[in-house]
Amino acid sequence: MKKAEEPKVGEKLYHIRIEKGSIPRFVFLPGDPDRVKKFAESWETSQLVAQEREYLTYKGKYSGVDLACTSTGIGSGAIAIAIEELLRVGADTLIRTGTTGAMNDEVQIGDLIISLGAFRADGATRAYAPLGYPAVANYEVVSALIEAAETVGVGYWTGLTYSTDSFYLGQGRPGYGGFTNGFSSKIVDTLRGLKIINMEMESSTLFTLSSIYGVRAGAIFAAIANRSSGDFTPNAGVDKMIKVSNEAVKILSEWDNLKQAKGKGHFFPSLLK
């Protein structure tokens, strides 16, 4: 492989600065590097793996399971780089743990939302597959997140996500100086009519690339904004989301062991009997 086609610094992948084999298969993907530190603090053990640009990675153990957390920065271009490089160094189950804007006022600020699939209004996935290609979450990851929320004892919503690279106009917010256009101001109502439950900026890329590469992905969000009531509270629900995410990886690891013991390629409920 030519150096410019697979950029590295020594043995480390250029952007995430991690080398092959040095992270576990389960990796959380928040956008914000500060949230990586919160994850690390919630584990039994943790260590810094790498820090480069927006990509901060810690790894550690939760309930005896090896796991890691890498921040992706904001938007499809940034998360696509993280996914490309994390898969090259050993990840195979990626869970976005993000914040989001909820569409309806029945979703309260701080509530959790588990995504079932995403509308591809991002830019990066157009380089990978035509728009008819679906952006779906892996059913095992979705099921584990639901099971985990039930185990932790917190409420949650499930539904379809809208992923766009634009936080302002693309999510129906006015631009600088109140700038708007004919379509931005209609976006929130249109999406609500389509029963989209939340808007954010990375999940369509995660789901599309994960399907193409044959790995598992899911996404859970803390609702910090509500586009119906207009409320906004930074970090609302994030601690709860971290608890549920850790528990989901523990559950996925148990299900993976069960699949292996019973010689099955997929998890299904009667495997637990």
Q: Give the residue numbers marked as catalytic.
A: 15, 85, 173, 227
Residue 233 to residue 85: CA distance in whole angstroms = 32
Q: Does 100 bind ligand URA (CB under 6 A)?
A: yes
Which lies closer to ligand URA via its Cβ, residue 12 or residue 35? 35
Closest residue (Cβ) to ligand URA? 101
User: Judged by CB under 6 A, which of 72, 93, 171, 246 binds ligand URA?
Assistant: 171
Smallest distance from ligand URA to CB 237, Å = 11
Helix (H) or strand (E) holding 94: strand 93-102
Least distance to ligand URA from the beta carbon of 244, Å? Answer: 18
Q: How far is the CB of 202 from ligand URA (least distance, A)?
A: 8
Cβ-based nearer residue to ligand URA, 95 or 144: 95
Burial 124-146 (b: 16+ CB within 10 A, else e): bbeeeeeeeeebbbbebbbbbbb
Per-residue DSSP letters for 99-150? EEEESSTTSPTT-EEEEEEEEEE-SGGGGTS-TTS-EE--HHHHHHHHHHHH
Which is closer to ligand URA, CB of 118 or CB of 199?
Answer: 199
Candidates 97-105, 174-182, 248-256, 264-272 — which segment interacts with ligand URA by CB under 6 A? Answer: 97-105
What is the CB-side half-sphere exposure of residue 40 using CA atoms within 13 A?
A: 16
Site for ligand URA in 176-205 (CB under 6 A): 199-201
Q: Which helix (H) or strand (E) holds 3?
A: none
> Contact between 225 and ligand URA (CB under 6 A)?
yes
Contact 234/223 with Cβ under 8 angstroms? Answer: no
SS3 assignment for 20-60: CCCCCCEEEECCCHHHHHHHHHHCCEEEEEEEECCEEEEEE
Residues 50, 188, 224, 238: which binds ligand URA (CB under 6 A)?
224
Enumerate residues 6+ apart whose C-beta is below 8 A from 31: 71, 72, 73, 74, 79, 98, 99, 201, 202
Between 137 and 224, CB nearer to ligand URA: 224
42-50, 77-85, 94-102, 248-256 -> range binding ligand URA (CB under 6 A) = 94-102
CB of 56 to ligand URA, least distance (A): 19
Binding residues vs ligand URA (CB under 6 A): 99-101, 167, 171, 199-201, 224-225
